[in-house]
Structure 1
Amino acid sequence: MLKKPLLLMTLLACIHFSCKKESAEIQGMVKDYTGLDGCGLVIVLDDGTNLEPAILPQNISLVADNRIAIKYRVLTDRVSNCMVGTIVQILALRYL
């Protein structure tokens, strides 16, 4: 009798804790790396991490040499010609 409720609680706990959490907003600077082979605009985070944005929200464009705050998700199914950073999808972006 207790097996079904226990199984259900275990399943719900697994689902809850396996959900992807949205990244916290993080700040950085948009840099123009077009001088490097295969590169374009790259986001350099305040901790020095380079991000290569592959997907941007609709009606949002990057402008070089501007500070931004972003939320992003790492894209593991993409490859890059630039190879200077992690390929990401930008979920939210605001200029500072």
Structure 2
Amino acid sequence: MKTVSLCVVLFIFAACKTSPPASSCRYTGVVKDLSGIDGCGLVIEMKDGSTLLPVEFAIPGFTLKAGQVVKFDFMELKDRATACMGGRTVRIECMQEMK
């Protein structure tokens, strides 16, 4: 009986996992294609001119495209390095395309 109860509790917690609400997307930026620079690809340029290198996405199924204006939130990954020296390496926590 304990095993069944434990399975039900684990199932409930797994089913409740959702993406952060769009309201938690605090920043805006434009997706830029820096693939002409060694080790770079698509990056996000923020309004203040800083550049973010997204290497992880918490949002499955979202595809970045050059020229896209996006609203997003991120977490800097200070322990990750890339060959692109064009900005901070980040995990995208929340993202939506702005129209």
Q: Deviations over 1:1-24 (max 9, x none)?
A: xxxxxxxxxxxxxxxxxxxxxx86
Give the gaps of 5 or more residues in structure 1: 1-22
RMSD: 1.2
| Amino acid in the other structure paired with 1:67 | V
Q: How does 1:6-85 map to 2 (within 5 A)?
A: 25-56=26-57, 57-85=59-87
Q: d(CA) in 1 for partners of 2:81 and 2:29? A: 22
Contact 2:25 2:95 in 1 (8 A): no
Q: d(CA) in 1 for partners of 2:25 and 2:70? A: 13
Number of residue-to-residue matches in the alignment: 74
Give the gaps of 5 or more residues in structure 2: 1-23
TM-score (norm 2): 0.71
TM-score (norm 1): 0.73
Q: Percent identity over the alignment?
A: 36
Runs (4+) of structure 1 moved beyond 6 Å? none
